[in-house]
Structure formats: structure tokens, C-alpha cells
């Protein structure tokens, strides 16, 4: 990581080709194609039930599309399980926070480092030498890179289940970052946050996308049009599982189909601001 | 409730200090004192009766440790843990009695220690076998599949087949002198006590270490949210089976240890009620806490002993009480669980945590 700067229209990191996903006879996705280039923030928007989360679940491996292929770094990953895709460098956050409520903030983020750690049953149980060193190094990485970035020093030893919603979202982002992913799927990271928390979260997303130490490509699902249009390099618009268009934010704003399907007759910036 | 507050004036200057088990000098002194009490105080002070009570506590704690690991840390509810204790006890017994040990090993007294290890592995593998359904089923349905472990193992395989080995029929008697570790023949409560205390401390420490490294965190993550655990790169099925293996392993050690305290072993030592009892122990001690295992075991065993002490004098005037004691014991068990579920669902461990924090934060507890 680190060679491709943000916005540099680099190689294709993730490609979804003609993805179909049916639940019974309901077509949640009907032929969606998506290309996410390295270093970009690529947003997916659409009205409720448009299939945005289904598409994320397909990319992430929680769902298996009936038709169509998903390529990550040029490799077909349709058959891989979610944990195998995580090892390839795909991480995500969820729309409804899915943190580990009984673990502390620190342990949640440590868990995100799972694929980068080595200790097993025996070495873990004995906790000597390499394992102890690994835990300390891991702790240092988390403290310096993630907790510092997300400004959650004050809650690091608190159980996540006891934190307010906004902080839980932040911890979830921290956990996703701990995996040091190449592709970060953000499923409505701003849902339910107040204005200040929204601004913080948007800043974190920009940080990890642009900071050369992270340089994470983001796939963002979001309803907050102001944020989507400001952050994204490209935007995919879905409606009832059908892709309407894929283009830059300004192209999307000008497209009459998009305006009709999603934004209504109102101005794009009507949702917030 | 994983971390307690540091007392005023204590600071950590490195991550190593923050990761240490015993973080302050006071705690270190306290734990040393505890070790001293366990290894010197109790053996000197307790008579044979109280030593046997301690042994019962240790056996309960070793059994409950595996249950805690499965239920409290990995979220896999199990109601058949006695089966794995039985597998451990029977494997160890059969190895000692039937296996043609080379005389060298017999002379060195290694037969029993080796048999404990093999018994633990066997119980672990047996446990994985019954953990396989956990790949597909959760919650209620898993409870039923783990109950199957109990009935298949103890009531069917052991009672019907294993017990017939050597034409003995019911029980395997363990002649005096067969249980020995090195030069020591385990023949008194005191020796059993020392073996118990070493095993309990060892396995509590091993599990505690596991819980602060990669494997243990994966278990807790599966307990709290299995979908996001998988998304974070954890092979859920593998880690669930690992949890079953470790729980079975500890169960096997517990079973193999317990034969040192018995003159004979029979399937009645591992009834289904004992599986339920172990779950009760962690409910009372606190689900998801290693302190809970110890506190729960102490509470259950001591309360039952006290109950016995109360009933025995009464039995001279009401002889029926003696006959009904088993039912009284079970009723007390049920009552204790109900009371804890209603008044302290977090168990004794939570109270302990609160008490510690109270003293650490005193006098400014806000």
C-alpha cells in the first residue's frame, strides 16, 4: 500500500460484473456492475430497498449472488467465505452497529487485528516470548494509529455496549481499520449521527482515504447527499436493484433519471444543510 | 467489567505494565498472600473433612471452567459437559488398569500423569465431535445437541459398553496404590488437595492467557456477534470447534483428576444433573468471568455442605430428612439459581468487581 495516491485513477481494485441476487422471486439486484478504482471513494446511493446493502453483502461474502462475478485485485472471489475475503483486505462497517458489546473498545479494535496476529492455542495459553511481544506491538499500533486517529482515548477500557451510539459507530470504524484493509466498505456510517459526529466521521473517512499511511479505497453507502457529493470521486445510483447510472458526483446531480428516482423534484442538497 | 480502576496515584508508563496480570504492588502482595494461604495455610489448618470440601470445590471449578469457556466466552450453550468429564475419567482409569505399561514408566510413576494427558486429548476430541452441530445450529437447538452428548456418552456408550470391559459390569475399582504421580501415591485428601490446587491454578492461568490473546478474543467475538466476527476474518466454525476442544480438554483433565479421589468409578458419578450443576455454578458465579468459576464453585459446594450440616442434627428427630436430602439439595440448587437470576444476574463476580472498584476509588467514587 501507499504507492497509489488518492484520486489518482489507478487500477481497478474491485469489480462487480452483472451481479444478480434474488430472494425468492424478488430481484434485490438485477445486473449491477461496479468498478472501484484504487484510492477512490466510490459511493452507492439509492432509495430505501434499492439493494445497496445487498450489494455490499455480496461483495463482502455474506450473500452469494446467483449470477455475476465479483473480482478483487483481479481475482474472482465469488466462492470465498467472508473471513477469507477479510484476509484479502476487505473490511466493512455495518448500517446497524455490529460491535462486540461485551468487549472493551480496545479489545474490539484488537479483534480487528486478528488476521495480522499469529498466536494460537498453545502459544496464547502460555503467553511467553513471541506472543507477549506480538500483543505489545499490536497494542502500540492500535494506540498510535487508530485510537489516536479516531480520538477515542478516553473510552479505551470501556465496554462498547455501554457507549452511546455515535461512539459505537466510531469504534466500529476503528475495528474495520485495524484490519488494515485495502477496501473499506462503509454501510451508512453516518446514519443516526448528529451534525458534529457526522462531520467527525466524514473527516475520518477522508483521512484514511488520503493519508498515505492508510490510503484505503472506500465503498460508501450513504443517504446524506451533502456528504456523498462532497466526499465521493464516483457515485453509483441504484433503484430497485437496477443501476441507473455511474459517474462523478456532478454528472449524477445533472442526470434527470437520478433526480426523478431518488432525489425527487427537490434540490440535491435538501436533505441536510 | 473487564478492567478495574487503578487506585489513585498508580500510573502505567508502558504497554507492558498495562498488560500485566498483577498491575500494582498491592495486588502482587495480595496474590502472593493468596498463594501462601492456598499452599501452606489451608493444608495446615484444614482437617480431612474440609480438605475434601476443598477438593470438591476444585473439581467443580475445573469442570465449570470448560463450561464457562463454552457458555460464558464462546456463547455455545452446553448441557452435556459431564460427558467429557466422564470420558476423561474413564480413559484415564482404563489406561491405568488395562494398558500394558512398560515397567520403566510404572516405576517412575508416570502412568497416571500420561494417562491424564491422553484422557484430556480424548475428551477434547470427543467434545469436538459433539461440537460439530454448532457449525449450523445456535441457541436452543445447540442445547439439545449437547444434551445428546450426555446421553450418548454416559448413558449409552459408557454404561452399556465401556463398563463391560473386563467383565466388571458396573464400576471399575481403583485399587490403592494405582494412582501415583512420580514417587507419590495419591492416597490422602492432602495429596489430592495439592494436585487439585496445582491443576486449578494452572488451567485458570492458561485460559486467562488465552482470553487475552488472539484465540480468546475470537471466542468472545463469536459470542457477542458472530456475523461481524466472520467479517473481521475469523473462521467461525474453526474457532467454535477449538472452544469445544479446549473445554473438553479441561473437562478431561478434571475427570482424570477426580479418579484420584475415588475408590471406584461408575457412570453414576457423571449424571446429567452434574452437567446442569456446572451450568448453575457459572450462572451463580457470573457468566463470562473467570472469577465467576471460582466463586460459583466455592458458593455451591460450601452452601451444600452447610445445608448438610444443618440437616444432619435435625435428622435425629426427623429421620425422613436424611432420606430426602438429595431432594433438599436439588431444591436448594434451584432456589439459589432463581435468587441469583432475579437479584444478581451478573453473579458473584460482578459483586466482587464492584467491591474492588469501591475500594480503589474510595473516597472519591465519581
Q: What is the CATH number of the domain that holds A232?
A: 3.40.50.300
User: Which residues form the domain of A154?
Assistant: 104-180
The three-class DSSP label of residue B330 is helix
Q: Which residue of A has its CA nearest to B237?
A: A83
Q: Are residues A167 and A252 in the same domain?
A: no
- The residue among A164, A180, A196 that closes a domain is A180
For chains A and B, CB pairs below 8 A equal 115
Is B225–A98 a contact, with Cβ atoms under 8 angstroms apart? yes
B206 vs A: CB within 8 A: yes
Q: Are residues A171 and A252 in the same domain?
A: no
Q: Are residues A197 and A171 in the same domain?
A: no
Q: Are residues A148 and A78 in the same domain?
A: no
Q: What percent of chain A has pLDDT over 70?
A: 92
**Cα atoms in the Cβ-side hemisphere of radius 13 Å centred on A210:** 10
Q: Are residues A244 and A175 in the same domain?
A: no
A94 is a domain residue: no
Q: How many domains does chain A have?
A: 2
- The residue among A180, A209, A226 that closes a domain is A180
A154 is a domain residue: yes
Q: Are residues A186 and A226 in the same domain?
A: yes
Q: Are residues A240 and A166 in the same domain?
A: no
pLDDT of residue A47: 86
B104 vs A: CB within 8 A: no
> CB-CB: which of A81, A159, A179 is closest to B232?
A179
A97 is a domain residue: no
Question: Which parts of chain A have pLDDT scores under 50?
Answer: 1-8, 268, 272-273
Task: Work out the minimum CA distance from A232 to partner chain B, whole angstroms.
Answer: 24
Q: How far apart are CA B150 and CA A218, in angstroms?
A: 50
In tens digits, chain B (366 residues) has pLDDT values of: 456 677 777 788 888 888 888 888 888 999 999 999 999 999 999 999 999 999 999 999 999 999 999 999 999 999 999 999 999 999 999 999 888 888 888 888 899 999 999 999 999 999 999 999 998 888 889 999 999 999 999 999 998 888 888 766 778 888 888 888 888 888 899 999 999 999 999 999 999 999 999 999 999 999 999 999 999 999 999 999 999 999 999 999 999 999 999 888 999 999 999 999 999 999 999 999 999 999 999 999 999 999 988 888 888 888 888 888 888 888 999 999 999 999 999 999 999 988 888 887 777 766
Q: Are residues A229 and A190 in the same domain?
A: yes
Q: Are residues A218 and A143 in the same domain?
A: no
- The residue among A139, A158, A180 that closes a domain is A180
A247 is a domain residue: yes
A99 is a domain residue: no
Q: Are residues A71 and A191 in the same domain?
A: yes
Contacts by B135-144, CB closer than 8 A, 24 or more apart? B135/B236, B135/B237, B135/B240, B135/B241, B139/B77, B142/B76, B142/B77, B142/B78, B143/B77, B143/B78, B143/B79
What residues does A219 pair with on adjacent strands?
A: A42, A185
Is A127–B213 a contact, with Cβ atoms under 8 angstroms apart? yes
Instruction: Work out the number of other CB atoms within 10 angstroms of the CB of residue B167.
Output: 5
Q: How far apart are CA A193 and CA A169, in angstroms?
A: 9
Cβ burial, residue A123 (10 Å; 0-12/13-18/19+): buried
Specify whether the CB–CB gap between A100 and A107 falls below 8 A.
yes
pLDDT of residue B365: 64
> CB-CB: which of B3, B18, B288 is closest to A102?
B288
Cβ burial, residue A141 (10 Å; 0-12/13-18/19+): middle
Is B230–A94 a contact, with Cβ atoms under 8 angstroms apart? no
pLDDT of residue B322: 81
How many residues belong to chain A? 273
Specify whether the CB–CB gap between B295 and B286 falls below 8 A.
yes
Q: Which domains does chain B have, with CATH numbers?
A: 45-361 (1.10.3470)
Would you list the DSSP string of A213-231?
TT--EEEEE-S-HHHHHHH
A96 is a domain residue: no
A151 is a domain residue: yes
Is A119–B213 a contact, with Cβ atoms under 8 angstroms apart? yes
> CB-CB: which of B3, B16, B217 is closest to A157?
B3
Q: Are residues A14 and A67 in the same domain?
A: yes
Q: Which positions in chain A touch B18 (Cβ < 8 Å)?
A: 139
Q: How far is CA A139 from CA A75, A156, B14, B112, in A?
A: 32, 11, 11, 42
pLDDT of residue A112: 93
C-alpha dihedral (B202, B208, B213, B217), degrees to nearest 10: 140
Average pLDDT of the residues of chain A: 89
Is B2–A107 a contact, with Cβ atoms under 8 angstroms apart? yes
Q: Which residue of A has its CA nearest to B245?
A: A121
Q: Are residues A139 and A260 in the same domain?
A: no
Amino acid at each position: 500500500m501507499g504507492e497509489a495516491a488518492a484520486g489518482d485513477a489507478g487500477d481497478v481494485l474491485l469489480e462487480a460484473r452483472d451481479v444478480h441476487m434474488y430472494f425468492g422471486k424478488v430481484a434485490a439486484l438485477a445486473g449491477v456492475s461496479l468498478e472501484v478504482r484504487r484510492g477512490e471513494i466510490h459511493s452507492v446511493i439509492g432509495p430505501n430497498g434499492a439493494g445497496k446493502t445487498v450489494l455490499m453483502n455480496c461483495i463482502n461474502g455474506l450473500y452469494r449472488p446467483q449470477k455475476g462475478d465479483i473480482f478483487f485485485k483481479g481475482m474472482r472471489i465469488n466462492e470465498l467465505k467472508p473471513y477469507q475475503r477479510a484476509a484479502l483486505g476487505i473490511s466493512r462497517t455495518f448500517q446497524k452497529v455490529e460491535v462486540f458489546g461485551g468487549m472493551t473498545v480496545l479489545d474490539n479494535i484488537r479483534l480487528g487485528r486478528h488476521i495480522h496476529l499469529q498466536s494460537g492455542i498453545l502459544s496464547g495459553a502460555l503467553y511467553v516470548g513471541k506472543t507477549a511481544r506480538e500483543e505489545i506491538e499490536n497494542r502500540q499500533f492500535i494506540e498510535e494509529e487508530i485510537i489516536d486517529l479516531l480520538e477515542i482515548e478516553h473510552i479505551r477500557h470501556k465496554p462498547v455496549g455501554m457507549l452511546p451510539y455515535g461512539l459505537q459507530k466510531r469504534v466500529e470504524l476503528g475495528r474495520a481499520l485495524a484490519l488494515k484493509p485495502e477496501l473499506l466498505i462503509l454501510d451508512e456510517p453516518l446514519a443516526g449521527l448528529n451534525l458534529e459526529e457526522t462531520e467527525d466521521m466524514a473527516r475520518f473517512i477522508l483521512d484514511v482515504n488520503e493519508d498515505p499511511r492508510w490510503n484505503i479505497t472506500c465503498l460508501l453507502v450513504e443517504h446524506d447527499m451533502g456528504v456523498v457529493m462532497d466526499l465521493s470521486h464516483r457515485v453509483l445510483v441504484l433503484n430497485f436493484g437496477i443501476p441507473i447510472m455511474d459517474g462523478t458526483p456532478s454528472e449524477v446531480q445533472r442526470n434527470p433519471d437520478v433526480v426523478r428516482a431518488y432525489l425527487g423534484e427537490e434540490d440535491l442538497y435538501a436533505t441536510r444543510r | 467489567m473487564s478492567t478495574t480502576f487503578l487506585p489513585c496515584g498508580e500510573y502505567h508508563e508502558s504497554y507492558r505494565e498495562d498488560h500485566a496480570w498483577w498491575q500494582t504492588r498491592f495486588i502482587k502482595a495480595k496474590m502472593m498472600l493468596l498463594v501462601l494461604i492456598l499452599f501452606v495455610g489451608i493444608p495446615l489448618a484444614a482437617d480431612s473433612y474440609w480438605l475434601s470440601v476443598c477438593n470438591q470445590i476444585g473439581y467443580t471449578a475445573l469442570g465449570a471452567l470448560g463450561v464457562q469457556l463454552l457458555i460464558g466466552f464462546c456463547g455455545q450453550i452446553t448441557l452435556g459437559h459431564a460427558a467429557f468429564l466422564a470420558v476423561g475419567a474413564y480413559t484415564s482409569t482404563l489406561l491405568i488398569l488395562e494398558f500394558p505399561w512398560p515397567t520403566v514408566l510404572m516405576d517412575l510413576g508416570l502412568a497416571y500423569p500420561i494417562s491424564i494427558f491422553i484422557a484430556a486429548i480424548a475428551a477434547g476430541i470427543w467434545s469436538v465431535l459433539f461440537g460439530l452441530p454448532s457449525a449450523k445450529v445456535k441457541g436452543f437447538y445447540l442445547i439439545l445437541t449437547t444434551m445428546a452428548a450426555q446421553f450418548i456418552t454416559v448413558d449409552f456408550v459408557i454404561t452399556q459398553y465401556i463398563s463391560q470391559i473386563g467383565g466388571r459390569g458396573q464400576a471399575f475399582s481403583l485399587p490403592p496404590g494405582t494412582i501415583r504421580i512420580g514417587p507419590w501415591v495419591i492416597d490422602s485428601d492432602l495429596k489430592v488437595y495439592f494436585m487439585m490446587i496445582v491443576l486449578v491454578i494452572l488451567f485458570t492461568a492458561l485460559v486467562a492467557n488465552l482470553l487475552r490473546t488472539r484465540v480468546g478474543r475470537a471466542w468472545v467475538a463469536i459470542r457477542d456477534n458472530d456475523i461481524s466476527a466472520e467479517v473481521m476474518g475469523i473462521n467461525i466454525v474453526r474457532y467454535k470447534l477449538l472452544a469445544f476442544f479446549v473445554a473438553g480438554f479441561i473437562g478431561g483433565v478434571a475427570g482424570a483428576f477426580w479418579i484420584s479421589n475415588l475408590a471406584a468409578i461408575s457412570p453414576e458419578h457423571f449424571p446429567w444433573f452434574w452437567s446442569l450443576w456446572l451450568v448453575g455454578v457459572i450462572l451463580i458465579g457470573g457468566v463470562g468471568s473467570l472469577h465467576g468459576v471460582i466463586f460459583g464453585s466455592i458458593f455451591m459446594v460450601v452452601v451444600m455442605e452447610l445445608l448438610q450440616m444443618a440437616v444432619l442434627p435435625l435428622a435425629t428427630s426427623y429421620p425422613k430428612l436424611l432420606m430426602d436430602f438429595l431432594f433438599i439439595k436439588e431444591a436448594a440448587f434451584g432456589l439459589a439459581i432463581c435468587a441469583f437470576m432475579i437479584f444478581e444476574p451478573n453473579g458473584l463476580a460482578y459483586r466482587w468487581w464492584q467491591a474492588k472498584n469501591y475500594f480503589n476509588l474510595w473516597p472519591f467514587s465519581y
